[in-house]
Chain A
Amino acid sequence: MARKAMLIDESKCTACRGCQVACKQWNELTGWEYSKTVNTGSYENPPRLTPQTWTRIKFTEYDSRQGFRWLFLKEGCMHCGEAACVDVCPTKALKKQADGRVTVEPDLCNGCGYCSQFCPFGIPKLEVASVITGQAKASKCTFCQDRTDNGLSPSCVKTCPAQALFWGDRDKMIAAGKKRVETLKTRGFAAVNLYGEEVVGGLGRLYVLIEKPETYGLPADPQYPAMAMMWQNVIQPLGKIAIGGTVLGTFVAWLIIRRNIKMEEVE
């Protein structure tokens, strides 16, 4: 099956945030009642991705050599070709679909949080549902699995009025992205680049950026985390043996709860 991808043309994004709201609407995620956002001196809100915010626009003011720019970045899961989150997930809640989408089944998630820790972009986030039990769920963009399974584009792509978002076979998205980069070069955008073609097994979310990735706050050279390999091949099998011991098992569970609550506090 051909690998799918989303192409995000940040040169056309106007930060109208139609995508941000369409995502919440389609996926039935909550807004202000949950996040209680405040204005901290920026249009940017919510302040970060959460299990209730799978995509959002990041705003950056930048003085480029060609003049002042207001840059917008549509954040969300990158659907990496080599998805560390899938590799470290002990319950197979995170899955790599045949067409490259990285999906989540919340019912299977035990809230261990490894996906969040090992993601090179820090995307999946945990939500602690109960402080007493520490029950948590990881959540993130699935490329609107229920839509894309049925041949529709993700809801964000469908809604974008600037037509900055595209959905389709990854090779076609790459070709379109490269063509757009060439066009923008002729229009004087010296730093324009296509982000995500090769890194981390090739991303399922490709960006046309008019400035360097770092200017948008994206890692210039994201890596598949070496520890994830170790985790998957060594520690997890050891853990499974250890779980035979009830005491140790309870201790590990307690550690996870503590950690989840702390992560929540930090956020």
Chain B
Amino acid sequence: MTNTWVDLKNADVILVDGSNCAENHPASMTWINKAKDDRGAKLIVVDPRFTRTASQADLYVAIRSGTDIPFFGGMIKYLIDKQLIQKEYVLHYTNAANVIDPGFKGPADLDGLFSGFVDDDGDGFGKYDQSTWKYQLDDKGNPLRDETLKNPLCVFQVMKRHYARYTLKTVSGITGCPPDKLEAAYKLFASTGARNKSGTILYAMGQTQHTVGSQNVRCMAMIQLLLGNMGVPGGGVNALRGESNVQGSTDQGILAHLVPGYIGIPRAGDHPTLAAYNEKETPKTGYWSNKPKFMVSLLKAWWGDHATAENQFAYDYLPKVESPANHYWMSLFEDMYAGKIQGLWLMGQNPAVSGPNSRMEREALKKLKWMVVQELFDTETCSFWRAPGVKPADVKTEVFILPAADAMEKEGSIVTSGRLIQWRSKVADAPGMALPDHQILNLIYLKLKALYAAAPGPFADPIVHLNWDYGKELSVEKVAQELNGYATAAIKDPQGNILASKGDTLKSFALLQADGTTACGCWIYGGYFAPADDGTGKMMPATKRRGQKDPGGLGMYPFWAFAWPANRRIIYNRCSADPNGKPWSEDKKLIWWDETQKKWVGYDVPDFAVTKAPSDPGGKDPFIMRVDGRGGLFASLNEGPLPEHYEPLETPVAKNPFSSRLHNPAIKIWKTDQGKSIGDNVGKTDKFPIVATTYRVVEHWQAGGMSRWLDWLTECQPEMFVEMSKELATERGIGNGDRVRISSARGEITAVAVVTARFKPFNVEGKTVHQVGMPWHFGWGGLATGDVANDLTPHVGDANTMIPEYKAFLVNIKKA
């Protein structure tokens, strides 16, 4: 989230698109209700089905799965045509005025493609040469700007032409949403463009789990920039994370292309030395120009005294990925299926149920030599070798199950969607021999180190020299101090004053150095474990604070725990003040420039150099993490710098109304074992005419590993089901509660039919399109069992993040 959970109370309009927050994030309703009660806020819910969140909506808008870009593109056109944008904000805080390279062409010119498309094999999918997707520069190297916004090559005009095609009629046709509903939503959300109003957008996997997932998110960012809703109380683009600590694990570099703190993983070839890495990966301007400090401090945290200036801070110890690398989920399972991977170590993951095309992924597990699972229960993944229809004797994989402690059975910090790092105490002992995951890893490492020390192999140093000193019983606090960062030698300012002594826990990442005098396991956490005041004068590690003071009454609660970065609750908050440093309105006053103190003051930690005045050079450029300091209306992703509509890989539509490109041209297509019973098969409407989507319900958790074994929760939602409209049920002779078969090109499952008015057929360009939905919680294990929804979903993902397209695919349904 750019903002916080509590901050939802400051919104005047809450737009929920691609999230069912009342179910999957019930605590959100505390603050949404507060906004409704205290401010008369309105709630818009956009979803293919009428959810429990929709039951609370002032305006419910149904769109077909996979058509968010037309929905948002239509809104962008509406805002521009009706002149409802926050013009001063757009002019100063975004790249609207920047002038684009004359070689750049967009989908309006190139029939659905941007300039630079390279399709080597002619299959319609390829990569972009992005060299024309850039600004024109002046002789000093700064972007050329036209503040009249009239230059036909300025971002504003390019964007305006791009979305001119997203007319109400076309958008209505492709989304299946009546134009009056679209217009009502656009009008209501546009009201937040006023200076004294703000609107927030909440999203989750409903936006991201598409082949255009990243561009869906870009749309929301663009709209929030156009309306001046970014960086202000009650605004922002707010990703509601799917698990209680998934934000924390992302921060720790759990994604295949990152190391902790959102630093790109070094690639062999591209980055043979640390100097080469720093040279290629460090921008000249913006806050990321400090990247070498973060990288060196990370290496110091990992290899301690063995990381020295002489050995490039042990850069050679760091494993590198090849270039280009693709080790995301589906790629891993494709490699596993091809027999390229011998072993798999899982911690709290249940891919036998959660992976896309899960029949294929379960086949892949059979090709492993060994698998280790750290788990609470005997999940479907633990016992994939005895799944229904599998002969255990046929499976050669050796499976080890390490009983793990539950979240309540260990101490440590967890990070909310709002980047709030909160320390939690252990409340109960784990049963039997179950251990916290960190202790399991600690024991494994200590054993590995002993083995390597006893019989060093060809490259034992990275293991033996690892700076791993957390005790035999791992001290979570020692880990926390390392993540926070500490001084390995005294740090002095240019005048020679000591800023931190050797061993000090650093108060801020601003103290990090590139010379090896600091160590830090995750730079963005800088200060979270340093002693801080809880608002009553009592000092404690910042993350442990529970101070309840709320200066300004906006719900920033600066003394409660610690929000990364720098205890900032709303990022980009320089935007909450106008270019001259005055709040846009008294009601939404967050930070402002105090001319007498010559600094930025207010209720949140400024996301800006504290003493940089609005009149200083760059004093009006609020997005400090960006090279040009401005919000990107035009910003490059793999499939283009402006979101363009493409249909899901499996679509009920024969033609894209915006171009002759039906699918995202930059996605990766796997073709493993196509045509076989288990393979990367793709369905068409002739056999699979119905759109399907998957989701979670409040009663269960993810792949069910933590809920299907619980008596009270299983009772509430005991069986696999599929929800469908009354119209579809009538067409197929299906009664409410009947058992039905749902098939896709990948498999077939059975489920109970829930026939409901909450699903309605869509009228897509004059044709009736049915949509159904299924929870993906069920499997053959646990108390109450059911078929695996992901047996139906395709192995295809977003062109940037590779997140699977779980939210839109094709099925057929018959009475069982």
**Which residues of A does B touch, CB under 8 Å?**
12, 14-18, 20-21, 24-25, 30-33, 35, 37-43, 45-46, 61, 63, 67-72, 161-163, 183
Per the 8 Å Cβ criterion, residues 12-61 of B in contact with A are 22-23, 26-27, 29-30, 33, 37, 50, 52-56, 60
Q: Among the interface residues B29, B698, B712, which one has the most CB atoms of the partner chain A within 10 A? A: B712
Nearest residue (CB) in B for A24 is B712
| Distance of A70 Cα from B49 Cα, bound (Å) | 12
| Distance of A24 Cα from B715 Cα, bound (Å) | 11
Q: A24-B712, A162-B30 are in contact. Are A61 and B55 (CB under 8 A)?
A: no
Contacts of B27 in A (CB 8 A): 161
Q: Is the CB of B30 within 8 A of A17?
A: no
The 8 A-B residue pairs with the shortest CB-CB distance, nearest first, are A41-B737, A41-B736, A31-B711, A31-B715, A14-B22, A32-B715, A39-B719, A161-B26
- Nearest Cβ in chain A — how far from B346, in angstroms? 27
Q: A43-B697, A161-B27 are in contact. Are A14 and B711 (CB under 8 A)?
A: no
Q: Is the CB of A163 within 8 A of B716?
A: no
The proximity string for B residues 697-729 relative to A, scoring 1 for CB distances below 8 Å and 0 otherwise, is: 111000000000011111111111100000000
- Nearest Cβ in chain A — how far from B311, in angstroms? 52
Q: Among the interface residues A46, A67, A68, which one has the most CB atoms of the partner chain B within 10 A? A: A68
Q: Is the CB of B712 within 8 A of A61?
A: no
7 inter-chain pairs at a CB distance below 8 angstroms, sorted by A residue, are A14-B29, A15-B698, A25-B712, A41-B735, A41-B754, A46-B715, A70-B55
Q: Is the CB of A14 within 8 A of B53?
A: yes
Instruction: Confirm or deny: B752 has a beta carbon within 8 angstroms of a beta carbon on chain A.
Output: yes
Q: Is the CB of A162 within 8 A of B33?
A: yes
Binds A, one of B169-177, B201-209, B755-763, B793-801: B755-763
The proximity string for B residues 773-797 relative to A, scoring 1 for CB distances below 8 Å and 0 otherwise, is: 0000000000110000000000000
Q: A63-B757, A68-B50, A161-B26 are in contact. Are A31 and B717 (CB under 8 A)?
A: no
| Distance of A149 Cα from B736 Cα, bound (Å) | 44
Contacts of B716 in A (CB 8 A): 17, 20-21, 31, 37, 45
Nearest residue (CB) in A for B714 is A32
Q: Is the CB of B717 within 8 A of A14?
A: no
Q: A31-B711, A46-B715, A70-B52 are in contact. Are A163 and B754 (CB under 8 A)?
A: no
| Distance of A103 Cα from B544 Cα, bound (Å) | 41
Q: Is the CB of B715 within 8 A of A16?
A: no
Q: Is the CB of B737 within 8 A of A16?
A: no
Q: Is the CB of A35 within 8 A of B52?
A: no
Q: Is the CB of B711 within 8 A of A61?
A: no
Q: Among the interface residues A37, A39, A45, A69, which one has the most CB atoms of the partner chain B within 10 A? A: A39
Instruction: Confirm or deny: B753 has a beta carbon within 8 angstroms of a beta carbon on chain A.
Output: yes
Q: Is the CB of B718 within 8 A of A33?
A: no
Count CB-based A-B contacts (< 8 Å): 113
Contacts of A162 in B (CB 8 A): 22, 26, 29-30, 33
- Nearest Cβ in chain B — how far from A133, in angstroms? 27
| Distance of A24 Cα from B60 Cα, bound (Å) | 33
Contacts of B783 in A (CB 8 A): 32-33
Nearest residue (CB) in A for B755 is A41
Q: Is the CB of B712 within 8 A of A70?
A: no
Nearest residue (CB) in A for B718 is A37
Q: Is the CB of B712 within 8 A of A161?
A: no
Q: Is the CB of A16 within 8 A of B712?
A: no
- Nearest Cβ in chain B — how far from A181, in angstroms? 14
Q: Is the CB of B56 within 8 A of A14?
A: yes
Q: A32-B711, A38-B718, A43-B717 are in contact. Are A15 and B50 (CB under 8 A)?
A: no
Q: Is the CB of A21 within 8 A of B737?
A: no
Apart from A16-B26, A40-B752, 11 more pairs, CB < 8 Å: A14-B23, A16-B23, A24-B712, A37-B718, A39-B717, A39-B720, A39-B754, A42-B736, A70-B55, A161-B27, A161-B29
Q: Is the CB of A12 within 8 A of B758?
A: no
| Distance of A41 Cα from B50 Cα, bound (Å) | 16
Which of these, A12, A32, A68, contacts B718 with CB under 8 Å? A32
Q: Is the CB of A37 within 8 A of B715?
A: yes
Q: Is the CB of A163 within 8 A of B30?
A: yes
Q: Is the CB of B54 within 8 A of A70?
A: yes
| Distance of A161 Cα from B698 Cα, bound (Å) | 12
Which of these, A17, A24, A45, contacts B698 with CB under 8 Å? A17
Q: A31-B712, A35-B715, A163-B30 are in contact. Are A68 and B737 (CB under 8 A)?
A: no
